[in-house]
Chain A
Amino acid sequence: MSSSDGSHAPRHPHLAGHFDTIEKQDYAARLGMWLFLGTEVLLFAGLFLGYTVYRHFYHETFHHCSRALSLNLGATNTVILITSSLFVAVAYWAVKVNKKGFALFMLALTILCAIAFLCIKYVEYRHKFQVGELPGKFFHAEELMQYPAANMYFTIYFLTTGLHAFHVIVGMSVLIWVAKGIWKGRYTPDYYVPVELGALYWHLVDLVWIFLFPLLYLI
């Protein structure tokens, strides 16, 4: 109970009343974030299960429909997202070593990557709408109609990439909020856990896409 009431050492300005030490509070925040990431993985796991089941039912159809996606756009997006993960990791390091300007620059690049990803996704979606490669009852792409349940592939495609795109937007908002904190000097080498949590979330967004890309575009 050495530092419990702060009478010996000055109390850390970000330490909440119900924690004894800042280390314990940081540990709690990290544990909470990892658990939250676990729930996110389980949220996507349901859709991945759906993909597995319908790929098993309609193997040929899924094979042919995945050829209808643009491999170039998908690959570009993969590269963009992986690069953005590097940027955010560097930004985290920069906050830790007190390079505020560099950290902000790296976060700006991350957010630009996110915007680029969404723009490319928009181009892909627009094309799908034009040719009628849409889920369920909206499906009317004639060249794919010969395959049974081709609409099912696009149901899965839109649900997974749609949920992922939603997470990209959320992740972007989180990073903008983190950048604002760095800008205002709230996060320093003494207190950088929120930056770490934001970066972790962004890595999850990236990781989900790393699984979606081969499943939807490559195989």
Chain B
Amino acid sequence: MSQQSPASQHNGDNPVYPTVNYLNADRGVKSWLLTLDHKRIAVMYFVSVLVMFLVGGIFAMAVRLELLTPGPTIMGANTYNRMFTLHGVVMIFMFMIPAIPGVFGNFCMPLMLGAKDVAFPKLNLLSLYLYWTGSILAISAIVGGGLDTGWTFYPPYSTSTPMTAFPALLGVFILGFSSILTGLNFIVTIHTLRAPGLTWMRMQLFVWAIYATSIIQVLATPVIGLTVMLVGIEKVAGFGLFDATKGGDPVLFQHFFWFYSHPAVYIMVLPSMGVVSDAVAAFARKNVFGYKMIAYSSLGIAFVGFFAWGHHMFVSGQSPFDNGAFAVISMFVGVFTAIKVFNWVGTLYRGAILVSAPFLYICGFLFFVVFGGMTGIAVATVSLDVHWHDTYFVVAHFHFIMVGAVIMGFLIAIHYWFPKMFGRKYHEGWGMVAASFIILGFIATFIPQFLAGNAGMPRRYYMYPERFQALNVASTAGASLLAIGFVIIAIYLIYALLRGEIAGDNPWNSKGIEWLTTSPPDKHNFPKPIVVTQDPHSYQQPGEEVEHVVI
């Protein structure tokens, strides 16, 4: 590769662990808490979102255990309501939204630009502190005071529930600020800190995805901030903005809420698609097929996503014309997603596939995105959605497309960039075992939910008719497989962190710019300034054969 030679020797026989790197350049708690280094901030995000994922996962398991039997199993109705609310709020606002941008956007995106840091390092640290503040506030409020509205906070219930919603709403408001500042920072970084020669069409696809995500974060998040503030004011002061008895309109809240929360789905899934775009080239050892189409379709999803929110309100009294319009616009998201899927499959076609944990997750990702996307087209169809609305079918659909895709992308990113972040390799065999548990567990958890929902099982109830029990038992069993998979991952990653094999600069032989520095990188990222002279993901020159490598 003619761009720049890596800092230390090329990997191969003698991988080198740099004695001084960003992890040990400064020592002490203060050097972490007050750091302006995007890589350290990313590591702190990493730990934080993993803790949130654990918390949200525990609540998910509580929900699944309760649904093991038709009657009350381990908790009462009120506790159950609080459990699924906690699960939703924690997983969405504290895990899925910040997960990939906060960790890998922060860590890899500046490296992929050949930059020394993000444009506003102090703002970046502030985002992290806002994330901590918002998370602690929301969780302590929900655990201490309780919240049973579900993550959607629909009035009139959210303004009339006896539980104290206000601190949780404030927490979500603060989390929104964190998200806005991260997005703003990333947009400015991508505009101003690209290395010489790194034109827009030479940016790696992960950067494109982060760019599209950041646009949504900046444009949509202020509206959720306003919305949760208004609900909070309603709850405390009773202004009646969403109260029909005072002339207010509860459906207006739903418009406000979904104007953010529908695009928020793409805040979660677009970075994951970006990870896959980068990883699919690295693990097929092939140039990305249809680079421009993948890049532009990210922007297409970001754009169309803003005009699809009404499909959450087909049964809220919207006019039939609005319903039809929102249905058709929603289906356009499927078109852009399909463009990506075809290009990823085209990249895999006749590649030299490197069978590994990230590759298994890429396969899982493709399955979940296609299956979840197809059911998305189905629920965007008004006549079908009237039947499926508020059933487990919808629950299964959004777990497939949002959670399935995001978790797969997050796991690909963890495995692909773990050697870069920490300079060590994980155990590939255990990685593939865990991947099998997780992908199969995920399918076993949510396919029964599709069936139960289609048969009419409503969401958010802690009891159900006996005829649904077999499906619910299957779903809970699948969730246990998922849990086992995550425990395996936790064990081998912690082992890899302490005792793992030294990775060397570029263990995957990837062509990404982030691999041109040492693993872990130096505090200032690159020993020499980067000059980009090649197209991204260029594993072959035109006419060149696919190169088979053994790692």
Using CB atoms and an 8 Å cutoff, list the residues of chain A in contact with chain B.
1, 4, 16-19, 24-25, 27-28, 31-32, 35-36, 38-40, 42-43, 45-47, 49-50, 53-54, 57-58, 135-138, 148-149, 151-152, 155, 158-159
The minimal Cβ–Cβ distance linking A35 to chain B, given in whole angstroms, is 5
Q: Is the CB of B117 within 8 A of A18?
A: yes
The minimal Cβ–Cβ distance linking B176 to chain A, given in whole angstroms, is 10
Chain B residue at minimal CB-CB distance from A45: B223
Q: Is the CB of A35 within 8 A of B218?
A: yes
Chain B residue at minimal CB-CB distance from A31: B188
Among the 9-residue stretches B17-25, B248-256, B326-334, B447-455, the one with 4 or more Cβ atoms under 8 Å from chain A is B248-256
Q: Is the CB of B230 within 8 A of A159?
A: yes
Q: Is the CB of A39 within 8 A of B119?
A: no
A151-B188 contact in complex given A18-B115, A136-B238, A137-B238, C-beta closer than 8 Å: no
Q: Is the CB of B529 within 8 A of A1?
A: yes
The minimal Cβ–Cβ distance linking A4 to chain B, given in whole angstroms, is 6
* B residues near A137, Cβ cutoff 8 Å: 238-240, 246
Q: Is the CB of A46 within 8 A of B227?
A: yes
Chain A residue at minimal CB-CB distance from B219: A42
Bound complex: CA A53 to CA B233 (Å): 19
The minimal Cβ–Cβ distance linking A112 to chain B, given in whole angstroms, is 30
Contact of B477 with A by CB under 8 A: no
Chain B residue at minimal CB-CB distance from A44: B226
Partner of A136 from B116, B118, B188, B239 at Cβ < 8 Å:
B239
Q: Is the CB of A42 within 8 A of B223?
A: yes
Q: Is the CB of B187 within 8 A of A136?
A: no
Chain A residue at minimal CB-CB distance from B524: A17
The residue among B116, B188, B249 with the most chain A CB atoms within 10 A of its own CB is B188
The minimal Cβ–Cβ distance linking A211 to chain B, given in whole angstroms, is 16
Contact of B27 with A by CB under 8 A: no
Bound complex: CA A27 to CA B238 (Å): 44
A151-B226 contact in complex given A35-B184, A53-B252, C-beta closer than 8 Å: no
> A18-B121, A19-B193, A149-B247 known; 11 other A-B pairs, CB under 8 Å?
A1-B196, A17-B116, A17-B117, A18-B115, A42-B223, A43-B222, A43-B223, A135-B237, A135-B240, A152-B247, A152-B248
Chain B residue at minimal CB-CB distance from A32: B188
Query: Interface size (B, Cβ < 8 Å)?
Result: 44
- The count of A-to-B residue pairs whose CB atoms sit within 8 angstroms is 113
Contact of B164 with A by CB under 8 A: no
Q: Is the CB of B246 within 8 A of A151?
A: yes
Contact of B404 with A by CB under 8 A: no
Chain A contact residues: helix, strand, loop or mixed: helix
Contact of B395 with A by CB under 8 A: no
A43-B225 contact in complex given A50-B252, A53-B252, C-beta closer than 8 Å: yes
Q: Is the CB of A155 within 8 A of B241?
A: yes
Chain B residue at minimal CB-CB distance from A155: B239
The minimal Cβ–Cβ distance linking B188 to chain A, given in whole angstroms, is 5
Chain A residue at minimal CB-CB distance from B193: A18
Q: Is the CB of B226 within 8 A of A18?
A: no
Bound complex: CA A183 to CA B116 (Å): 33
Partner of B226 from A43, A58, A158 at Cβ < 8 Å:
A43
A27-B192 contact in complex given A46-B227, A151-B240, C-beta closer than 8 Å: yes
Identify which of residues 178-223 in chain B touch chain A, using a CB-to-CB cut-off of 8 Å: 180, 184-185, 187-188, 191-193, 196, 218-223
* B residues near A54, Cβ cutoff 8 Å: 247, 249
Q: Is the CB of B246 within 8 A of A136?
A: yes
Q: Is the CB of A159 within 8 A of B241?
A: yes
* A residues near B233, Cβ cutoff 8 Å: 159
Identify which of residues 271-310 in chain B touch chain A, using a CB-to-CB cut-off of 8 Å: none
* A residues near B121, Cβ cutoff 8 Å: 16, 18
Q: Is the CB of A4 within 8 A of B239?
A: no
Bound complex: CA A39 to CA B274 (Å): 25
Identify which of residues 61-119 in chain B touch chain A, using a CB-to-CB cut-off of 8 Å: 115-119
* A residues near B433, Cβ cutoff 8 Å: none
A135-B221 contact in complex given A18-B115, A31-B188, A57-B249, C-beta closer than 8 Å: no
Bound complex: CA A18 to CA B121 (Å): 9
Bound complex: CA A4 to CA B38 (Å): 20
